[in-house]
Structure 1
């Protein structure tokens, strides 16, 4: 293999670790986004939702469900980033060239689906913990942490409850990985090769990840809203089609983009911090 096609193989866990760092920064915004998506009446802003949580529930409530968010990134993001990079490395080893977009897209879709499958249990717990304070006292689940949530769901609702909302979550995982990770790779490649930016500078990483965040937010919004509502629903009778039909009938087609701005305000910084952290791990070769 020529020097130009040689590729350093980084540890499988880099993507998950980077996403966990980003999670610590953006969790309050994620919490507000979930609350907006599950609200019975639209209209409240992200800022007012954050303010309402702090004033009515206390400052530290903006980190409700943090353990579940971290567990979700440790499972979902580790798998989707790890599988995507593994497939890219395997392609380079086999064909001795960098894969183009036509190849990257199916790779990212496989990685996203596997990540969505592995991360679904922690995602169910995450949604429930973030939204618990909005329920009537007698309906609250009061999970102590993510592991307590997983244990109690299995005990009280059977193990199948951990995979509620799996189809929209797989769809979101595919859309998220394809739009976020592939967009980042393509944008970075264009900025470096066509515009002449330095591949090692944070400004290049920031610009690429900002574009990736915009594309990912738009692509994932419909699946994200439906997934959130299914996972938060009481009982086992709700499915994606039923929730979709009911929401469109009662709220109009625009419900699928409910919370787009707060989603971007969360996903934009999350994407930026994730890729900045990822590039730093690669730069210093942590754990290698």
Structure 2
């Protein structure tokens, strides 16, 4: 039973991850909007400022206006081509294989263990507890692929000379380990774990809860309509719960650490404080529209596929 749960969850997650990858890419680009490495005094100046030291002219650029998800997507296709919408898709596949297979399978194991045989259901608190444990373990396993995915998705927004140009997820992980140390593969892991615990607890627990409520109240029978409704509601809950952590995670994972220089962020809390101070508290909900635009379809595809895979594998 346990191994089958891992296989079912893995297949559904890879299909859902690949089909919604362009939306995830747009979300990452939006979350990095407004981020700048211009020193603070210059960053706060409204007019563009030019000053000279020796023969070099330094210019503090005006902050770029924020744009919406459609504009980000259109600009991305115009500047980098349609194929750019699938930048980092190899990392998405590896991430789903490691992270989602682990979290879905472990949640299934805990659900089987903790379900009351008489009632045939598990209390909501137990569902949340199972989601927190499964998400945390899955994220720790999948973090290297997560870092690689964020970097590959964000690469196109850098000037051509500064791009990392990873050939694949394996190339990204190998080069990061070689140039920045193996520990860099777990950069932002505390954030990844926190986000995954929130997403898994809110997504899996709320899906089960919504599905049970719909069936108990006789609103719909156990079929596609119920699965779509419960999964979209679960996607919304997961997006609201995880977006702030997701923004910080994206920025910490994507930061460039120059040799011998202090990193832009000392850690998750430092990144959160700098982001809120420079861009306001709503900056933590940057990319929310593409987050819900992705989290909704992702959750729908995930659970609808999962239900179908379960039907196909029920005799195994």
TM-score interval, smaller chain: over 0.9
The 5 A counterparts of 1:37-116 are 37-40=31-34, 41=64, 43-92=66-115, 97-116=120-139
Which residue of structure 1 lines up, in the alignment, with residue 241 of structure 2? Answer: 219
Kept in 1: contact 2:5–2:104 (CA 8 A): no
The offset of 1:245, in angstroms, is: 1.0
Which structure has more helix as a fraction of its residues? 1
**Deviation digits for residues 99-119 of structure 1, max 9, x if unmatched?**
211211111100010011111
Larger radius of gyration: 2
Offset, 1:136? 1.7
Q: What's 1:230 paired with?
A: 252
Name structure 1 gaps, 5 residues minimum: 1-6
Matched, 1:166 2:189: yes
Shift, 1:286, TM fit = 6.9
Partner of 1:25: 19
RMSD of aligned C-alpha atoms? Answer: 1.9
* Per-residue deviation, 1:25: 1.3
Q: Distance in 1 between matches of 2:84 and 2:271?
A: 28
Q: Does 1:209 align with 2:218?
A: no
Uncovered stretches (5+) of structure 2, i.e. residues with no partner: 35-63
Q: Name the CA distance, whole Å, in 1 between partners of 2:166 and 2:13.
A: 23
Taking the aligned partners of 1:34 and 1:287, their CA distance within structure 2 comes to 40
> Aligned partners of 1:230 and 1:95: how far apart in 2?
47
Q: Distance in 2 between matches of 1:163 and 1:286?
A: 37
Matched, 1:16 2:10: yes
Matched, 1:34 2:62: no
Distance in 2, Cα, partners of 1:72 & 1:9: 19
User: In structure 2, what is the equivalent of residue 188 of structure 1?
Assistant: 211
Aligned pair count reads: 281
Aligned to 1:261: 289
The answer to whether the 8 Å contact 2:91/2:149 transfers is yes
- TM-score, reference length from structure 1: 0.93
Contact kept, 8 Å, 1:36 with 1:42, in 2: the verdict is: no
Q: Does 1:244 align with 2:272?
A: yes
Secondary structure of the residue aligned to 2:218 is: coil
Q: Work out the CA distance in 2 between the residues paired with 1:9 and 1:116.
A: 19
